[in-house]
Chains A and B, each alone.
Chain A
């Protein structure tokens, strides 16, 4: 698992997934696509590593999954945010903003 290119800051994948699910429920591939698209192709999610994260979030109770049918008529598992997940997303966003602000200050400091 260690070899993946560190596109993502460690620990941020969970937050990105929650964000990707903020308005719609999506299946795995769609989540990867959504993150890529929202980041204007800067962030690239390794498809496989998505699943451990999804199961982790599901076990935490932040997202819920159910089987559905995709646009091109395939069976797929759709994930959607729970109330607890929404709260978690807000918390993580706030946290992230604070941290990055701090980091910016350090980096731009004279």
Chain B
């Protein structure tokens, strides 16, 4: 207790310094006075009495100093002093301070923000979910391939039954529906989840309950739903009595049994779910039929929680054993199918796949920016340290201790970095959710969610890096000062020559580093930018300009196939009659969508596959005139027409890649292939096109007529010379005329659809552009600071040159050429580094070499331009120096 109290007294002493000092002086004065009086009483003269008293007491000031030390910690006392002094120094030089703080703030802020995205998206993506460190993504693959597929529901049940190393498995399938409340209808995204979903995740509904085990079983047996907090709050206006009320979802009345807690958005990165239904309701929400008992239907995405202490390798080994067992038990569906687990950061079935390379590069870039910022501040500090050399020398001459000087500079550096760190944390806080802002996917009613999480470890790391570097360079003047020859230094201030000493070599290195890092960033940005342009201009194999796509959510509206067929027939007729429409047709999937193409094992007449190859290909169900409408040329044979219906023999059209693979050197037209036990005759070969992204490799792909393979949910593809917005009113009118309760989804051009899917690249460009710009800005500041400082140091030399006859132009040239020499060296190093590093960007680049000369040339020009500007301003100042004054300095 007394220890604590003593501590407190001393601490309090720090802040009551002046009062306590006065009190101490008064007390000692009183003591001396008492002594004096006693001496007078003993018969001394007043003067002698006082002198004797002072002698007896001892050196008043010395004793005060010792006493002060007893009262407060001296270091702390000085610390407060230093902070005051440091603050004054920062204020006296506001330009320097603002620049330095700004640089560090940007550096810390951006790197912390990027780290928070990584933390929030890759490492711990699901707020409120317990034990995410033990959570893994679970999916299927075909043996010997890297192709990822879902799980089938029976397989999922068997995994639960046979596994011993897993705490739990959950399955989760994202789906969309149209949610109508009153007369409003909106798109909503939801999840079909296993009944143990909320329990396994450790997420407890805020109101009501989660699913009971029995609610996962039985075909359409349990129409119950848990809604998200946002849905509850926005669409049901926070109704406290919501539990037990009902909601139509896809035409089936569901009972609301729970409301998820506020921060829980589901388990699909990129989307916030609006509601969840148990697996038993699968058929209601899946346009492609009932699958709960079909071991061959691999439609669900899974997650698993490992038991504590189980490694991924052990778990994977167990999964392999289970896969083996299932293969033996169910060879016809499970031959060659295995299960695989990956850490959440590599989840193959959500936006992580697209985002993780972007985030990886962005984090590298952010680290660059932080480094540049540190180099920059170090430069500024170094430059300033030279300006303060006089001050340091003077203090030393007046008797300041070296340690005391170091401590003061240390405090100044600390002050600087602490202010910047605070600012940086603020920047990070504002930016943590900024990824959503540049995400281009916008659908009304669907919440895009990229959770950013400010993690204290991230903040500590970036703050530590910045404080560390600041400290390092803040101390330089003190170290220098301690080697100063006092008398020499006091005499010869301000007579430096350009170049030479070790200090300026250190500064040159810093400028190299800065220029080099910036060069790498700018070259990288250039590469991504060029890829984007290339990709934008690349031909996907179909027309993007004069084709508009839309759809009507018949499935959610509860249409059965017969009714849907009639609806589409009538709608297409009406659309074709619209002014400006050339043709219109159906396709189950539009190209470049998130939807999954049909895929089935194939048998090809006359083709003997290698032993363990299972032939499969993706295909799409399309209407008559599809190829003409979307603009994919037919190379040989014919296109689908009206007569390819359920009464006609089954037909198919293959793409040229498929034709070349299975019927090399032959005409594929007239050949047959078997899909789902149905032999189809090939009637045409279509030119190859992109189906999902422009990055994909040419793959075998084929088409079947939608009339022979009908699904309720289709897209409507329209070739028109009208723009999408112009035609959408007419579309809405026609849909409304057929069924007043329906409305089409937004009509967009195929170009927009294609752009949606290239958003990874756009995101990368946006991020790199922001960071590249920041790096450039910082590097420019750094160059400018160094140049203007070295010019100011050489004023005397320049003045002398001018006095001896150099003209302003000569001086200008001299200063600029020195600056450029420094920059060129940096650029050379940067170019080498860039060549080594841009290779890592391989999968973000599209038909652009990582050493693309244009991107590198661009970086070169930008850097030289920046260097010229940074050198020109101080050079001009130098050229205006009045020689007489310069020499007198």
Contact = CB atoms under 8 A, between A and B. Distances in A.
Interface of A: 1, 4, 27-29, 46-49, 51-53, 55-56, 58-62, 70, 72, 74-77, 84, 88
Contacts of A84: 1-2
A29 B69 CA distance: 21
A29 B62 contact: no
A78 to B, nearest CB: 10
B70 A55 contact: yes
Interface string B10-23: 10010000000001
A76 B37 CA distance: 14
8 closest Cβ contacts across the A-B interface? Answer: A48-B58, A56-B70, A48-B63, A61-B5, A55-B70, A61-B2, A52-B67, A47-B57
A47 B2 contact: no
B63 A49 contact: yes
A51 B71 CA distance: 11
24 contacts: A1-B62, A4-B58, A27-B31, A28-B31, A29-B34, A29-B35, A48-B62, A49-B58, A51-B24, A51-B27, A51-B28, A52-B70, A55-B24, A55-B67, A59-B6, A60-B6, A61-B9, A70-B34, A72-B37, A74-B37, A75-B26, A76-B27, A76-B30, A84-B2
A74 to B, nearest CB: 6
Contacts of A27: 30-31, 34
A72 B2 CA distance: 35
A9 B285 CA distance: 92
Interface string B49-78: 000000011111011001101110000000
Contact of B57 (A48, A61, A88): A48
Contacts of A51: 24, 27-28, 63, 67
B33 interface: yes
Contacts of A46: 58
Nearest to B13: A59
Q: Is the interface of A mostly helix, strand, loop or mixed?
A: helix
Given A48-B57, A76-B27, 17 more contacts: A47-B56, A47-B57, A48-B60, A49-B58, A49-B63, A51-B24, A52-B67, A52-B70, A55-B67, A55-B70, A56-B71, A59-B9, A74-B37, A76-B30, A76-B34, A77-B30, A88-B2
Contacts of B27: 28, 51, 76-77
A3 to B, nearest CB: 9
Nearest to A75: B30
A29 B13 CA distance: 24
B10 A74 contact: no
A48 B33 CA distance: 13
A27 to B, nearest CB: 8
A34 B37 CA distance: 18
Contacts of A52: 63, 66-67, 69-70
Interface in B170-227: none
B60 A62 contact: no
A84 B70 CA distance: 19
A25 B59 CA distance: 26
A47 B62 CA distance: 13
Residue picked from B1, B13, B27, B62, most chain A C-beta under 10 Å: B27
A2 B24 CA distance: 22
A52 B69 CA distance: 8
B31 A29 contact: yes
B77 to A, nearest CB: 13
Interface in B212-254: none
Contacts of A49: 58, 63
Nearest to B28: A51
Contacts of B57: 47-48
Q: By CB atoms of chain A within 10 A, which of B13, B31, B57 has the most?
A: B31
A53 B27 CA distance: 14
Given A49-B63, A84-B1, A84-B2, A55 B71 contact: yes
Nearest to B66: A52
Q: Which of A27, A51, A75 has the most CB of B within 10 A?
A: A51
A51 B70 CA distance: 9
A62 B1 CA distance: 11
A8 B63 CA distance: 18
Contacts of B37: 72, 74
A60 B62 contact: no
Contact of A59 (B23, B59, B71): B71
A5 to B, nearest CB: 12
Contacts of B34: 27, 29, 70, 72, 74, 76
Interface in B54-106: 56-60, 62-63, 66-67, 69-71
Interface string B260-279: 00000000000000000000
Contacts of B69: 52
A84 to B, nearest CB: 5
Nearest to B60: A48
B774 to A, nearest CB: 51
A47 B27 CA distance: 12
Contacts of B33: 74
Contacts of A59: 6, 9-10, 13, 70-71
Nearest to A72: B37
Nearest to B30: A76
B58 A47 contact: yes
A56 B10 CA distance: 10
Contacts of B66: 1, 52
A58 B2 CA distance: 10
A47 B54 CA distance: 10
A55 B27 CA distance: 12
A1 B26 CA distance: 21
Contacts of B10: 59
Looking at A4, A27, A28, A47, the one whose CB has the most chain B CB atoms below 10 A away is A47
A61 B1 CA distance: 9
Contacts of A61: 2, 5-6, 9
Contacts of B9: 58-59, 61
Contact of A74 (B2, B30, B59): B30
Given A47-B57, A48-B58, A55-B67, A60 B31 contact: no
Nearest to A65: B27
A88 B1 CA distance: 13
A84 B5 CA distance: 11
Q: Which of B35, B59, B67 has the most CB of A within 10 A?
A: B67
A60 B4 CA distance: 9
A72 B34 CA distance: 9
Nearest to B27: A77
A28 B71 CA distance: 17
Nearest to A1: B66
A27 B29 CA distance: 12
Contacts of A56: 70-71
